[in-house]
């Protein structure tokens, strides 16, 4: 007889062990997911709820610590799921059970549907940033002609970008607004030229304007990256539904000119719960307009209306976004909070960017928007080998 501990993340190790015994892939994934360890913090709970929670947790083999009106509850997802059943819960646990059911993570999506077809999410997908603006915070003006932009697109693909995210309006603090006509003139010809030169590459347009998105989709884009989460232009979500585009809904607050400032960086309920709630609202807007769920990706908006400390808190709890049931994208590339953490100037933040992307992969992110894909691609290749999905 030999007993060997399963090293690494329990769910990944269990899945691999089951695969070695001939279990099928989907069954391995669902069984292993049930062993994922989760912890929840309950506050404002009545004494009767806490008493019933202790009793139920003991019966299910869950760990619970309680105080005057709070509790910390921890255990495998499968056992927590057994607690999240209002129809079998005693009266004092009805509200808690319903809340826990909503808070448990959904099964991680396997594909993302776009206007060009499905993109598999079993390995990291890199979005290469192609800014066509003269005033972008990082590389403004460097790719201002179609020839320069197409050449840069080829470089990004060679570095590992599976998607090119093309933008014609800067969101940096103090940037001047761009008219729809000017933004269309910047992005549509470049998207058309890239589609002709790199027909196998998927393109995304970074815009909050439905008119710009329509022109970009006409030119060959397959994805709309709306940093307002379909807040600013009421026609955006309906357009994406009509064209069956992939949609990236990013968390932000305010208009384009103030999104990246700290003017609305107040999160009295905590940055993580409020970001999750507001992304849930964005998903609701898109779904009501007809966007299919499997076409939606969510982005917590790192660096947008968040202090360095809030960005770190958001990254630390990133796995909580899985409760939304949609793939998660992060865009930490060269952001100011990385400068605050490392002391590095703008041009020296690629290693920090890669480090955040690796941490994001471990927490459940599947898509990564970066300026220089090469270093991040290599870092994520190591992460994928260690933590496959």
What digits encode the pLDDT tens for the residues 22-65?
A: 888 788 878 877 778 888 999 999 999 999 999 999 999 999 99
Dist CA 361 CA 355 (whole Å): 10
| Contact criterion met (CB below 8 Å) for 370 and 165 | no
- How far apart CA 56 and CA 37 sit, in angstroms, is 18
Q: What is the pLDDT of residues 289-330, one digit of tens each?
A: 999 999 999 999 999 999 999 999 999 999 889 999 999 999
Residue whose entry in the numeric block shows the structure tokens 């007993």? 3
Q: How far apart are CA 68 and CA 48, in angstroms?
A: 11
Distances (CA, A) of 52 to 60, 102, 131, 143: 12, 19, 55, 62
- Catalytic residue from among 306, 326, 334, 369: 369
Confidence (pLDDT) at 135: 52
- Please tell me the predicted confidence (pLDDT) of residue 23: 87
Q: What percent of the chain has pLDDT over 90?
A: 74
Q: pTM for this structure?
A: 0.90
Given the residues 116, 253, 334, 335, the one annotated as active site: 335
Mean per-residue pLDDT of the chain: 91
Whether residue 369 lies in the annotated active site = yes
Task: Give mean pLDDT, residues 218-227.
Answer: 98
What average pLDDT does range 183-197 have in this prediction? 96
Q: What is the DSSP string of 36-91?
A: -EEEEEE-S--HHHHHHHHHHHHHHT-EEEE-SS-EEEEEEHHHHHHH--GGGS-G
pLDDT given for residue 173 in this prediction = 72
Determine the average pLDDT of the residues in 283-290. Answer: 98
Among candidate residues 201, 126, 204, 218, the one with its CA nearest the CA of residue 168 = 204
Per-residue pLDDT reduced to its tens digit, 346-368? 999 999 999 999 999 999 999 99
Grade residue 216 by pLDDT with cuts at 50, 70 and 90: very high
For the chain, how big is the Rg over CA atoms in Å?
22
pLDDT at residue 1, rounded to an integer: 36
Q: Are the C-beta atoms of 132 and 186 separated by less than 8 Å? A: yes
- Quick one: which of 31, 37, 8, 17 has its CA closest to 105? 37
Active site residue 335: yes
| Burial class (CB within 10 angstroms; exposed 0-12, middle 13-18, buried 19+) of 282 | buried
pLDDT value of position 2: 43
Helix intervals (H) in the chain: 10-20, 25-33, 47-60, 77-83, 94-103, 146-158, 180-197, 210-219, 236-243, 271-288, 308-316, 336-342, 350-363, 373-386
Rounded Cα gap, residues 132 and 276, in angstroms: 31
Confidence of residue 12 (pLDDT cuts 50, 70, 90): confident
Domains of the chain: 1-35 (no CATH), 41-103 (no CATH), 111-386 (3.20.20.20)
SS3 labels along 294-349 = HHEEEECCCCCCCCHHHHHHHHHCHHHHHHHCCCEEECCCCCHHHHHHHCCCHHHC
């Amino acid at each position: 007889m030999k007993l060997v501990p399963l090293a690494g993340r329990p769910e990944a190790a269990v899945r691999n062990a089951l695969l070695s015994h001939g279990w099928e892939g989907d069954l391995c994934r669902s069984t292993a997911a049930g062993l994922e360890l989760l912890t929840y913090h309950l506050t404002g709970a009545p004494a009767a709820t806490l008493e019933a929670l202790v009793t139920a947790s003991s019966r299910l083999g869950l760990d619970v610590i309680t105080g005057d009106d709070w509790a910390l509850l921890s255990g495998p997802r499968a056992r927590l799921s057994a607690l999240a059943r209002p129809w079998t819960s005693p009266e004092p646990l009805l509200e808690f059970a319903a809340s826990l059911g909503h808070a448990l993570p959904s099964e991680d999506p396997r594909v993302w549907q776009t206007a060009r077809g499905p993109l598999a999410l079993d390995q990291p997908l890199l979005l290469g940033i192609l800014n066509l603006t003269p005033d972008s915070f990082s590389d403004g003006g460097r790719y201002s002609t179609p020839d320069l932009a197409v050449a840069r697109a080829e470089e990004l693909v060679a570095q590992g970008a599976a998607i090119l995210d093309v933008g014609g309006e800067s969101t940096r603090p103090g940037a001047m607004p761009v008219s729809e006509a000017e933004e269309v003139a910047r992005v549509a010809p470049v998207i058309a030229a890239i589609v002709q030169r790199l027909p196998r590459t998927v393109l995304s347009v970074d815009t909050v304007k439905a008119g710009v998105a329509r022109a970009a989709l006409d030119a060959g884009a397959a994805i709309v990256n709306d940093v307002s989460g379909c807040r600013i232009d009421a026609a955006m979500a309906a357009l994406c539904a009509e064209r069956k585009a992939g949609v990236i809904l990013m968390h932000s607050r305010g208009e384009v000119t103030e999104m990246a400032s700290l003017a609305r960086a107040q999160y009295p309920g905590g940055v993580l719960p409020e970001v999750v709630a507001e992304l849930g609202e964005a998903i609701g807007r898109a779904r009501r307009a007809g966007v299919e769920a499997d076409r939606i990706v969510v982005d917590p908006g790192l660096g947008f209306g968040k202090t360095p400390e809030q960005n770190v808190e958001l990254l630390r709890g990133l796995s909580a976004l899985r409760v939304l049931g949609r793939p998660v994208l992060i865009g930490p590339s060269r952001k100011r909070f990385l400068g605050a953490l490392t002391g590095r100037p703008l041009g020296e933040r690629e290693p920090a960017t890669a480090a955040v992307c690796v941490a994001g992969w471990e927490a459940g992110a599947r898509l990564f928007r970066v300026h220089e894909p090469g270093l991040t691609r290599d870092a994520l290749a190591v992460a994928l080998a260690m933590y496959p999905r």
